[in-house]
A and B are shown apart, each in its own frame.
Chain A
Amino acid sequence: MDVSAWYMMYMPISGIEIFWPGLVLIGFAVGVIGGFFGMGGAWLVTPGLNILGFPMAFAIGTDIAHIAGKSMIATIRHAKFGNVDVRLGLAMLVFTMIGIEIGARIVIYLEAIGLVGPVVRWIYVGFLACIFLMVLTDILKKRKAEREGIKEGDKLKGGLDFSSTLHNIKIPPMMHFPQAGIYCSLWLPAIVGFVTGVLAGFLGIGGGMLRMPALIYFVGCPTHVAVGTDLFEVMISGLYGAFTYTLKGRIELVAVVVMLCGAAVGAQIGTVATKYARGMGIRFWFMVCILVCMISIILKQYGFPLIAGVLILGVVALVCAIIMGIMFKGAAAELRQKRATDI
């Protein structure tokens, strides 16, 4: 097996040569962004693989397999920080899977009556717009409250809060989720998991983008715990997704391994950056990603896939740089403080 140059790598299944540093870079970027926001990041991997010339037949399967591995790396780090509420993740997981199944069946039904395609895309755009507006309202309300100095203990009041109302619905069994610091009915995370699962199955996505804000606004998780717990779910569902896609022969394992090398480093940076970022900061940049994802779908819908791809990759590079800045600045400050304390 001879490759044309050192920077090219032969993919044994698809039989093509790929620019492997590009794969490492994509893995790295997804690691940083996924570790910071707690989502899989399939929406940014596929255009990246497209640009590298990766065959589309293998792109989605490879993408999901890589996301499963990357989420595992990030989950291990988040778990050390205490950001993963395993009990909450498991409570949601089964219902999420059932939801995905139902969502997938709705798509099959729509396909049978010839309504799938643009309908799914526009509904996706609609949901992204809702999430964008919800996070934007939350941030603006919180900023206003900060300016006015409204405080409740150490916790600033003023943002969106549906969870307090939902926690008052006490349908047994009531459960305590220690890491998230929530005591609520089991049915609350179960229903949230189910609904986000239906949407994920219907829209053909992993669901991290929907689940992370749902965990914050409806279940009442602190942002950091929402990120860690969501990654825990993405890890398990991603492994299952990787299995089913491999069964259909749609995976390039060598590419996954190469991407994971980049993701291993990226996920550490993204995850450690959450330590130095405020929850509101995470939400703000999450909102930016949602906006870009929404615009890119609209561009694709109107036949501008190249502009959509360039836009996504440009913003990914920018957000990556910002997250790395947060991490390195925070780490440097911590080390300085540590040295000063030691002296």
Chain B
Amino acid sequence: MIVKDAKGSGPGAVFGPGGTVDSNYVFGREVFLMRAFCYKLFAFMTMVYLFVPTPIWAGGNKAKPLVHVADTRLLSGIYLYFGNMYNENLLMFSIWTVVILTALGAGFGFLMDIIMSRTGLDLTTRELRE
């Protein structure tokens, strides 16, 4: 499908194979502009969400910054590395936390997928039964 701003068909007219106008896909100008508006609105709100500094999670129990120092004298290896990071650079520790969570979530998800696929169960289709 090729999207063209064709004269007479209005912007956003979508042409089927061979250049014939597919009436199922012809959008009105208003709908086309509304979609563009929606994409912009979505992008704007994503920016607002990302850059609003207020901690917005769990409004009922607002978490105040905790003054706590990990006792790194007892730690070694990777524990020591993360313990030091927690004490010295909380922002970096937060970024690492999100990266580790994402990696672990995805890693476990795909690992379990491989294991589950060996059970012989059909894990790609299901019947919607209300």
By a beta-carbon cutoff of 8 Å, the part of chain A in contact with chain B is: 1, 10, 12-15, 57, 60-61, 64-65, 68-73, 75-77, 80-83, 90, 94-95, 97-98, 100-101, 103-108, 116, 120, 155-156, 159, 172-174, 186, 200-206, 222-225, 235, 237, 239-251, 253-254, 256-257, 260-261, 263-265, 267-268, 272, 274-275, 278-280, 331, 334-335, 338
Given contacts A94-B49, A243-B98, A335-B120, contact A250 B60 (CB under 8 A): no
Whether a CB of chain A sits under 8 angstroms from the CB of B21 is: no
Nearest A residue to B120 via CB reads A335
> B60 to A280, Cβ gap below 8 A?
no
Q: Closest CB of chain B to A161's CB: distance in Å?
A: 11
> B101 to A256, Cβ gap below 8 A?
yes
* Residues of B close to A267: CB separation below 8 A: 112
In angstroms, Cα B109 to Cα A108, docked, is 38
Q: Closest CB of chain A to B87's CB: distance in Å?
A: 9
Given contacts A72-B106, A173-B31, A247-B90, contact A107 B101 (CB under 8 A): no
Q: Closest CB of chain B to A37's CB: distance in Å?
A: 16
In angstroms, Cα B37 to Cα A179, docked, is 24
CB within 8 Å of A: which of B91-130?
91, 93-95, 97-98, 100-102, 104-106, 108-113, 116, 119-126, 128-130
* Residues of A close to B130: CB separation below 8 A: 155-156, 159, 222-223, 278-280
Residue from A57, A159, A240, A272 in contact with B123 in the complex, judged by beta carbons closer than 8 Å: A272
Ordered by A's residue number, 29 sampled pairs between the chains whose C-beta atoms are within 8 Å are A12-B74, A12-B79, A13-B86, A60-B58, A68-B101, A70-B105, A72-B106, A73-B105, A77-B123, A81-B126, A90-B42, A94-B46, A95-B45, A98-B48, A104-B55, A107-B59, A172-B30, A201-B56, A235-B105, A240-B57, A243-B94, A246-B93, A246-B97, A263-B108, A264-B108, A264-B109, A265-B112, A279-B129, A334-B121
Residue from A10, A204, A246 in contact with B90 in the complex, judged by beta carbons closer than 8 Å: A246
Residue from A104, A248, A272, A334 in contact with B56 in the complex, judged by beta carbons closer than 8 Å: A104
> A245 to B105, Cβ gap below 8 A?
no
> B83 to A248, Cβ gap below 8 A?
no
* Residues of B close to A75: CB separation below 8 A: 109
Closest 8 CB pairs of A and B: A204-B60, A72-B105, A104-B59, A76-B109, A241-B57, A264-B108, A279-B130, A246-B94
> A205 to B97, Cβ gap below 8 A?
no
Whether a CB of chain A sits under 8 angstroms from the CB of B40 is: no
> A98 to B63, Cβ gap below 8 A?
no
In angstroms, Cα B79 to Cα A10, docked, is 10
Interface of B is mostly: helix
By a beta-carbon cutoff of 8 Å, the part of chain B in contact with chain A is: 30-31, 34-35, 38, 42, 45-46, 48-49, 52, 54-68, 70-71, 74-76, 79, 82-83, 86, 90-91, 93-95, 97-98, 100-102, 104-106, 108-113, 116, 119-126, 128-130
In angstroms, Cα B39 to Cα A343, docked, is 53
> B101 to A250, Cβ gap below 8 A?
no
In angstroms, Cα B101 to Cα A237, docked, is 13
Interface of A is mostly: helix
Given contacts A98-B49, A272-B121, A272-B123, contact A257 B104 (CB under 8 A): yes
Q: For chains A and B in complex, what number of residue pairs have CB atoms within 8 angstroms?
A: 219
* Residues of B close to A57: CB separation below 8 A: 66, 68
> B63 to A60, Cβ gap below 8 A?
yes
Given contacts A13-B83, A335-B120, list 16 more A-B pairs with CB under 8 A. A1-B75, A13-B68, A64-B57, A73-B109, A100-B57, A104-B58, A108-B59, A155-B130, A173-B38, A242-B98, A246-B90, A246-B98, A250-B63, A257-B100, A257-B104, A272-B116
Most chain B CB neighbours (cut-off 10 Å) among A97, A116, A235: A97
Q: Closest CB of chain B to A224's CB: distance in Å?
A: 6
* Residues of A close to B108: CB separation below 8 A: 69, 73, 260-261, 263-264
In angstroms, Cα B57 to Cα A256, docked, is 18
Given contacts A13-B68, A280-B130, contact A100 B98 (CB under 8 A): no
> A80 to B123, Cβ gap below 8 A?
yes
Given contacts A81-B124, A253-B82, contact A13 B105 (CB under 8 A): no
